[in-house]
């Protein structure tokens, strides 16, 4: 029975891939209605369809899971008006083997699609060989990114580089590979992707992998290995080079911070790579969990408050924490562009809750629809990654920090201009600047680990220094039960 269940799980992505395509708007391709296992992977259209399937699976992963992995355990979120439910154990860092509920199944579905492309596309004849290379580059980029996410989340993970096209125990039951081995594959995939992309443009738009996007990912990866895995200056030098290469692309900071995320401004020139969401293709994404329901509005709210909320929607399952909110200066435009504090001045306790306005979607027929794209990388983060790498190498990060701050503070910038200090002081500034700039974009938890600040900055981890197993996630019991070769992360075993 265990083998049958495991087979079902691993084959689910293939079944969807073979029989149930849906297209995404930017690709402008008709959906493939019927694909036979023996007839597929014969043409350029088949190859393009395979890549579409990979992005569709990635959108499912990005809907909520990427945010939970990358930010839920930090100090950014806390209780909202509703019961935070399963989310509470994340921001309270109260996870164990028994209550672990975040698994890696969807991540491996994405990887399986990438593996299918990597295996089969080289054997297809294309009228334009450059198109073949471009599709392969996207698959290598995707596989590198998802393994990067898995390695940061769980450490050692199964390393699967061949597609699961049938069932056999050797393919299905994989042990966890050492995290260093996983990063060897990630780095090899990144080099392959960089070599395959034809130029430094966004030829397929900004909701698909491109050379600027994969170079940003490469910088992110090498900063991680340089700072957390002993790679040191050698890795950070590679990171800085890749990030500078990405910077030469068609990228700029938008004048208005809040416009970066608006539904009607998708794929703007600040975006390096985002996950496309559109009506009739997918349901509300994670931002619907951070707003406010109509039933929670009060007649005693001021007109200004009601105007700021606009059309209610979603729920306030969890909300920006006071610890995070109180760090913002009023002159910082990112404050109003990220969250809004709701007060009822006729109540005994005026503060009611806060809502996330970044990603608040659009209103149609009296309903709020949360379908803003999920941003993976954008130019402001690229600048801060460059600042981080430069500082780690003993260089002055002022130019990049000040470019980000100049937009944030506008006419008040002179009061907030950054001047380089010690390496430690600069690191603290960069980490906080990333909080201000990238709040609710799924970055903070991994930032805290990379800067070695999780036990210092997260209230629920204070006093637990040295319990380093808390920096990775527990593996679900279901995952372990389906594969006897999977062992629990040390420190999370049930007593």
Is the pLDDT at 15 greater than 90, yes or no?
A: no
Any idea what the CATH number is for the domain that residue 64 is in? 1.25.40.390
210 inside domain? no
Residue 252 belongs to some domain of the structure? no
Q: Read off the pLDDT band of 493 (50, 70, 90).
A: confident
pLDDT > 70? residue 10:
no
Q: What pLDDT does residue 416 have?
A: 98
Closest CA to 184 of 216, 228, 148: 148
pLDDT at 167: 66
Residue corresponding to tokens 């002159």: 331
> Measured between alpha carbons, how far is 1 from 477 in angstroms, rounded to an integer?
17
Asked whether the predicted pLDDT for residue 11 surpasses 80, the reply is no
Phi, then psi, of 19 in degrees rounded to 5: -125, -5
Domain-embedded: residue 451: no
CA dihedral (94, 98, 104, 105) positive or negative: negative
Is 60 exceeded by the pLDDT of residue 61?
yes
- What pLDDT does residue 168 have? 65
Other Cβ atoms less than 10 A from the Cβ of 12: the count is: 14
Per-residue pLDDT at 418: 98
Per-residue confidence band for 4, with pLDDT thresholds at 50, 70 and 90: very low
Q: What is the pLDDT of residue 14?
A: 37
Residue that terminates a domain, selected from 372, 405, 432: 372
Q: Is 305 helix (H, G, I), strand (E, B) or coil?
A: helix
| Cβ 327 vs Cβ 310: under 8 Å | no
Residue pLDDT, tens place only, 473-491: 999 999 999 999 999 999 9
pLDDT score at 67: 97
Spell out where 201-329 has E strands: 271-275, 290-292, 313-316, 318-320
Predicted TM-score (pTM) of the model is 0.92
pLDDT tops 60 at residue 35: no
pLDDT tens across 211-266, in order?
Answer: 999 999 999 999 999 999 999 999 999 999 999 999 999 999 999 999 999 999 99
23/141 same-domain check: yes
Mean pLDDT of the 202-206 span: 96
- What pLDDT shows up at residue 353? 98
**How high is the pLDDT of residue 313?**
97
Question: pLDDT digits over 103-112, tens only?
Answer: 999 999 999 9
| Domain span holding position 43 | 1-81+96-198+471-495
* pLDDT score at 236: 98
pLDDT tens-digit map of 353-399: 999 999 999 999 999 999 999 999 999 999 999 999 999 999 999 99
For the cut 90, the answer to whether the pLDDT of residue 3 exceeds it is: no
Chosen domain end from 350, 372, 394: 372
Tokens matching residue 92:
């309270």
Rounded to whole angstroms, what are the CA distances from 12 to 9, 24, 110, 172, 257? 5, 21, 12, 13, 40
**pLDDT of the residue at 169:** 67
Residues 6 and 145 reside in one and the same domain: yes
The answer to the question of residue 116 being in a domain is: yes
Residues 353 and 477 grouped into a single domain: no
For range 21-28, the mean pLDDT: 32
Three-state SS for 348?
coil
Which distant-in-sequence residues (6+ apart) come within 8 Å of 70 by Cβ? 149, 442, 443, 444, 445, 446
Q: Is 475 found in the same domain as 336?
A: no
More confident of the two residues 172 and 98: 98
Whether 5 has a pLDDT exceeding 70, the answer reads no
Q: Please report the pLDDT score of residue 495 as a whole number.
A: 58
Q: Are 17 and 53 in contact (CB under 8 A)?
A: yes
In this predicted structure, what is the pLDDT of residue 338? 98
Buried b (16+ CB within 10 A) or exposed e, 68-89: bbbbbbbbbbbbbbbebeebeb
Average pLDDT over residues 12-32: 33
pLDDT at 342 over 70: yes
Tokens read off for 428: 């603290």
Residue 235 covered by a domain: no
Q: Is the pLDDT of residue 31 over 70?
A: no
Instruction: State how many domains the chain has.
Output: 2
pLDDT (mean) for 145-162:
97
Q: What is the pLDDT of residue 282?
A: 86
* Nearest by Cα to 410 from 476, 337, 344, 464: 337
The mean pLDDT value for 447-463 works out to 98
pLDDT computed for residue 1 by the predictor: 41
> Do 32 and 161 share a domain, yes or no?
yes
Q: Does 438 fall in a domain?
A: no
Torsion sign across C-alpha atoms 391, 395, 398, 400:
negative
Q: Within a domain: residue 37?
A: yes
pLDDT at 494: 77
Q: Which residues pair with 275 in a beta bridge?
A: 374
Residue 229, domain member (yes or no): no
Q: Are 488 and 474 in contact (CB under 8 A)?
A: yes
Q: What is the CA radius of gyration of the chain?
A: 23
Domain final position from 372, 393, 413: 372
- Give the integer Cα–Cα distance in Å for 72 and 94: 12
Q: What average pLDDT does the chain have?
A: 92
pLDDT-derived band at 165, boundaries 50, 70, 90:
confident
| Exposure letters 451-461 (e unless 16+ CB within 10 A, then b) | beebbebbebb
Residue 174 has pLDDT above 60, yes or no: yes
Both 147 and 43 in one domain: the answer is yes
190 and 291, same structural domain? no
């Amino acid at each position: 029975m265990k083998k049958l269940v495991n087979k079902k799980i691993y084959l689910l992505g293939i079944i969807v891939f073979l029989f149930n395509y849906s297209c995404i708007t930017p690709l402008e391709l008709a959906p493939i209605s019927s694909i036979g296992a023996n007839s597929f992977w014969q043409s350029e259209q088949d190859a393009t369809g395979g890549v579409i399937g990979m992005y569709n699976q990635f959108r499912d992963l990005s809907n909520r899971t990427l945010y939970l992995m990358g930010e839920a355990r930090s100090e950014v979120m806390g209780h909202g008006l509703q019961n935070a439910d399963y989310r509470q154990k994340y921001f309270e860092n109260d996870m164990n083997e028994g209550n672990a509920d975040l698994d890696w199944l969807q991540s491996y579905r994405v990887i399986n699609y990438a593996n299918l492309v990597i295996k089969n596309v080289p054997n297809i004849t294309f009228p334009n060989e450059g198109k073949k290379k471009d599709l392969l580059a996207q698959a290598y980029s995707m596989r590198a990114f998802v393994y990067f996410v898995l390695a940061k989340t769980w450490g050692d993970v199964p390393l699967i580089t061949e597609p699961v096209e049938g069932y056999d125990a050797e393919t299905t039951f994989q042990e966890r590979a050492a995290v260093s081995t996983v990063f060897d594959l990630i780095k090899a995939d990144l080099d392959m992707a960089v070599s395959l992309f034809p130029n430094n443009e966004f030829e397929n738009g900004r909701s698909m992998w491109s050379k600027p996007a994969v170079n940003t990912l490469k910088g992110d990866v090498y900063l991680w290995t340089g700072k957390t895995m002993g790679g040191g200056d050698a890795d950070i030098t590679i990171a800085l080079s890749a990030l500078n290469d990405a910077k030469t692309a068609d990228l700029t900071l938008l004048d208005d911070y809040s416009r970066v995320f608006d539904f009607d401004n998708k794929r703007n020139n600040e975006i390096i790579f985002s996950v496309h969401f559109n009506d009739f293709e997918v349901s509300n994404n994670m931002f619907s969990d951070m707003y406010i329901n109509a039933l929670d509005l009060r007649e005693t709210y001021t007109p200004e408050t009601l105007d700021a909320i606009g059309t209610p929607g979603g729920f306030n399952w969890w909300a920006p924490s006071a610890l995070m909110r109180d760090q913002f200066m009023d002159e910082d435009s990112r404050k109003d562009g990220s969250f809004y504090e709701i007060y009822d001045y006729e109540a005994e306790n005026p503060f009611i809750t806060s809502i996330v306005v970044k990603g608040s979607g659009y209103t149609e027929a009296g309903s709020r629809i949360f379908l803003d794209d999920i941003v993976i990388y954008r130019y402001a983060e690229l600048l801060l990654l460059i600042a981080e790498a430069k500082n780690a190498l003993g260089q002055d990060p002022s130019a990049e920090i000040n470019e980000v701050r100049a937009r944030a503070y506008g006419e008040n910038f002179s009061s907030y201009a950054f001047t380089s200090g010690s390496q430690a002081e600069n690191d603290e500034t960069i980490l906080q600047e990333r909080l201000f700039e990238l709040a609710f974009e799924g970055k903070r938890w991994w930032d805290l680990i990379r800067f070695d600040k999780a036990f210092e900055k997260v209230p629920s981890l204070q006093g637990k220094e040295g319990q380093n197993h808390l920096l990775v996630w527990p593996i679900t019991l279901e995952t372990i039960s389906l594969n006897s070769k999977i062992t629990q992360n040390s420190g999370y075993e049930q007593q």
